[in-house]
Chain A
Amino acid sequence: MGLRKVNAVVVGAGAGGGIVAKELAQAGLSVVLLERGKWYTAFDCRKDDLRNQRNSTLGNAFGPDDERDPRVVVDPSGWERIVRGSDGEYQNNAACVGGGTLSYGAMAWRYMERDFRMRSAYGAVAGSTLEDWPISYGDLEPFYEKAEWEIGVSGDESGNPFKSPRRKPLPMPPLAPTREHLILKPAALRLGLHPFDIPMLRNSVPYGGRQPCMRCRWCVGFACEVDAKCGTHNTVIPKALATRNCELRTGAMTKGILTDERGRVTGVAYFDSDDRLQEQPADLVVVSGGAIESARLLLNSRSRLHPNGLGNRYDLVGRNLQGHTYAGANGLFGEVVYDDIGPGASIAICDYNHGNPDLVGGGLLANEFIRLPYQFVGHAPNNVPRWGKAHKDFMRHAYRRSIAIRGPAQEMPVFDSRVQADPVVKDYWGIPVARLSGGRHPHSIEVGNFLAAKAEAWLQEAGATYTWKSLPGPGLSAGQHQAGTCRMGKDPQTSVVDPYCRVHEHDNLFVVDASVHVTNGGFNPVLTIMAIAYHASAGLLRGWKGGGAQ
């Protein structure tokens, strides 16, 4: 429909898409970056504790819209219902420029060497599609480093003997320790554990032309007012735009990937911000919508030659949807431990990521981000009444005297935990919505329970007078750590993309986000998504022979 052909169209301006757009634009390719959401500022949320990315009680602050983008969720008993963007079951990640990186907590973990070869390390797990990655930690190491230095990471891993080998240190020192940090560190050492400062995509000193963290209490879930949190929206995307080779179009909802009569990808069709259907021709299409929306887009891109969607010859797109099984414990202390110094999360251990007796994998444990007052209501132990004077007394006494430790247990991928295109329900633009079904593998819950016990022991050693666990349930997990739906592999019959994120049957179609994760580590995934985006961009550019004829 008359839009000028470009070299590449990137769908989704989040952690993966922002980086690919910048890498391609800097290499001289013409790029169109499509984002269904807006480019928000901190004013759009203003630290609203009931309407943010972590607490969507009154709606999503950073998209998607409650009315326009429903999903269908099928629970294990087969009961299905339509959910809105701000419902928990929606498994939302933000829909905006920067994606989750605008409002995340910003932990910047490298996966460990063993996280890339879970199958070889632990063997097969019944009921799980646990598999090795086709690339190793060593393949990604230079790209982890690039992400750390280009986007910006602070922290100090020197106390972590389990860390993967690195060539270059982190570019920024950690933030000064909080009161919780100073309580938890000696306790961990007494237990023979190895505590250290969490690496974070957050400025602790001026970096990248932006200020350091001012240490307010509203961090995870909120856009940063001093721009200290490093996301793609304030690093690579402005750089991509500055090349003048990249055009960002917001409010652009991609409908489908276009193919010609021979099945070759030729561009995308999308609804622009005025809801007009546009066709953007391109030499390459990069899908970076997050594990749920990327899978949905491939599945919705049906044609005569691809009746089940693109890359889906073997019914693999949308499978193995996973996130993290969060578990942990809370401890009540005799003295005030709250110091109102954000972001809260500060100290971690990786002692339980691997090598746990009779368990496959594990996860890190770290102290929790500051829990805002309303959020804390839900943290009361079971023996505190849910209402009345006793609950108020608990809040008043415990709010500044409690520490929480949480960790993301690495999940065992489940083949039937999946994203499908719903056959009936359509969104505002008439596009079939994502249909989510499945649940956690029982072993993921076992690992979560194990981590919770370890968290509780750490709090007890730190002097907690009362502790209680927070344990995982069996439901589907995806949310902000959603991953796995377009698995990376060498064999086209068991995977969707190759090690450079190229969809097997298409030489010009890529999926670059956590969809390609074979397994999701016992860590927050964002730095790995970024590293993979740099890795995939490098592979793509190596094979780039210039744009085709118009």
Chain B
Amino acid sequence: MKARTKYLVVAGAIVLLAPIAATVYYETGGGTGCASCHEIQRSYDQWAGSTHRNLSCGSCHGDAFTLDPAFHLNNFQRLVGHLSGRISEPILLRQPDLPEMLARCQKCHRQEFADWQSGPHASTYSRIFLDRKHNASEALEDDCLRCHGMHFQGGIRDLVSPINTAGPWRLRAPELANLPAIPCLACHQIHAHGAPLPRPAIPAATPGPKQELFRPSLALFDRRNQLHFAVRLLPLPEMRDHDRPVKISPDPRQALCYQCHAPLATNQVGSGDDRTAIGVHEGLSCLACHLKHGQQTRASCATCHPRLSNCGLDVETMDTTFKNVKSPHNIHFVKCADCHPRGVPSKPGARRRALPFSEATFTRR
């Protein structure tokens, strides 16, 4: 009995001290300590060649001073797993890690974070999954989680109850309610290979040749594989407008957009969630108009259009949104003939102005 108590005290002390000891060990030596456990080696190697190589492991993954007990418990479980040879590999971020990651991204990427936060992609679990209008018209299904809540570890039944069109619906984990369903890590791979970003860069107002088009971190978090796939690995679709092949900008970043704003298997423009532009805007990249993090589009018109359009209309006050069914100038498919049913009047001396960027800008790696 006495021996057992002693045994338990020792064990308890180890439980308490092991995470701290481990952290001290890991933190010395600039991360090489982390990598001495072989299951971390791969992540470490990726980090060492990544844009974030100047940040220490602890600044994103937490350290001895992290107050969250779950963090230490998780580390302890990993330690036990490591020592017993039953290691979970690859080590993945858990759902509870994600809110922590948001704050860490925000620390440096403030403008991007603010843009994202004010845009549609910062939508929360409750807004996405408890949307009455949606849920009453179609039942939620596992595939919803491919694009929203992609880090959620479970099926849709584990997230929302009940799964039917009658409702009322509730989140089975209420703590998720106000968390973003499309967090930074949905489209960014932190350990992606690339050079660190020079600090004093002043972001250009609109995408142009001077702005960096292609951050190395752009990658899809593929829920099925629980892995990121870099944008350069993702396909761009061969879209069709009925039988006519549609011209698509070769901007590789769009491959990320197409994963969720995807056409049906028929690749027809406008099918499924597709938003490929046809008509006067055909061939423009999604990102020519949709500013990256916030998705704000209104200001982008001015990139190409003079304040007043060729027709004398103020394009910035036109209703161009796809959300308005009745809009005659939906920007994704407005054609010249929509406004000029009897043919476009010629304008003497009018020349097509060069766009401020060209297709050559988007050479695929």
Is there direct touching of A and B in the complex, by C-beta distance under 8 Å? Answer: yes
- Does A124 sit at the interface, judged by CB under 8 A? no
Per the 8 Å Cβ criterion, residues 124-149 of B in contact with A are: 138-139, 141-143, 145-146
Residues 327-344 of chain A, each 1 if its beta carbon lies under 8 Å from chain B, else 0: 000000000000001000
Contacts of A164 in B (CB 8 A): none
A112-B93 Cα distance, complex, nearest whole Å = 54
Contacts of B164 in A (CB 8 A): 209
A409-B257 Cα distance, complex, nearest whole Å = 47
Residues 39-55 of chain A, each 1 if its beta carbon lies under 8 Å from chain B, else 0: 11111101110000000
* Given the contacts A41-B155, A41-B158, A226-B143, A211 and B138 also touching, CB distance less than 8 Å: yes
* Given the contacts A225-B141, A227-B142, A46 and B165 also touching, CB distance less than 8 Å: no
Per the 8 Å Cβ criterion, residues 182-241 of A in contact with B are: 209-211, 214-215, 223, 225-227
* Given the contacts A210-B139, A211-B138, A43 and B265 also touching, CB distance less than 8 Å: no
Judged by DSSP, the binding face of A is: loop
- Does B154 sit at the interface, judged by CB under 8 A? yes
* Given the contacts A41-B158, A47-B224, A209-B165, A225 and B142 also touching, CB distance less than 8 Å: yes
- Does A384 sit at the interface, judged by CB under 8 A? no
For chains A and B in complex, what number of residue pairs have CB atoms within 8 angstroms? 49
B143 touches A225 (CB 8 A): yes
Instruction: Bin chain B's interface residue count.
Output: 20 to 34
A44-B158 Cα distance, complex, nearest whole Å = 12
- Does A541 sit at the interface, judged by CB under 8 A? no
Contacts of A46 in B (CB 8 A): 223-226
* Given the contacts A41-B156, A42-B155, A176 and B143 also touching, CB distance less than 8 Å: no
B138 touches A43 (CB 8 A): no
CB distance from A359 to the nearest CB of B (A): 39
Partner of B265, one of A211, A227, A341: A341
Residues 214-231 of chain B, each 1 if its beta carbon lies under 8 Å from chain A, else 0: 000000000111100000
Partner of A176, one of B146, B226, B266: B266
- Does B233 sit at the interface, judged by CB under 8 A? no
A214 touches B225 (CB 8 A): no
Instruction: Bin chain A's interface residue count.
Output: 20 to 34
Residues 248-280 of chain B, each 1 if its beta carbon lies under 8 Å from chain A, else 0: 000000000000000011100000000000000
Please, which residue of chain A has its CB at the minimum distance from the CB of B165? A209
B265 touches A214 (CB 8 A): yes
Per the 8 Å Cβ criterion, residues 75-108 of B in contact with A are: none
Please, which residue of chain B has its CB at the minimum distance from the CB of A215? B265
A341-B224 Cα distance, complex, nearest whole Å = 18
CB distance from B151 to the nearest CB of A (A): 12
A48-B222 Cα distance, complex, nearest whole Å = 12
Contacts of A210 in B (CB 8 A): 139, 141
- Does B157 sit at the interface, judged by CB under 8 A? yes
Contacts of B145 in A (CB 8 A): 43
CB distance from A297 to the nearest CB of B (A): 29
A227 touches B225 (CB 8 A): no
A321-B203 Cα distance, complex, nearest whole Å = 71
Please, which residue of chain B has its CB at the minimum distance from the CB of A342? B265
Residues of A at the B interface (CB closer than 8 Å) are 39-44, 46-48, 176, 209-211, 214-215, 223, 225-227, 341
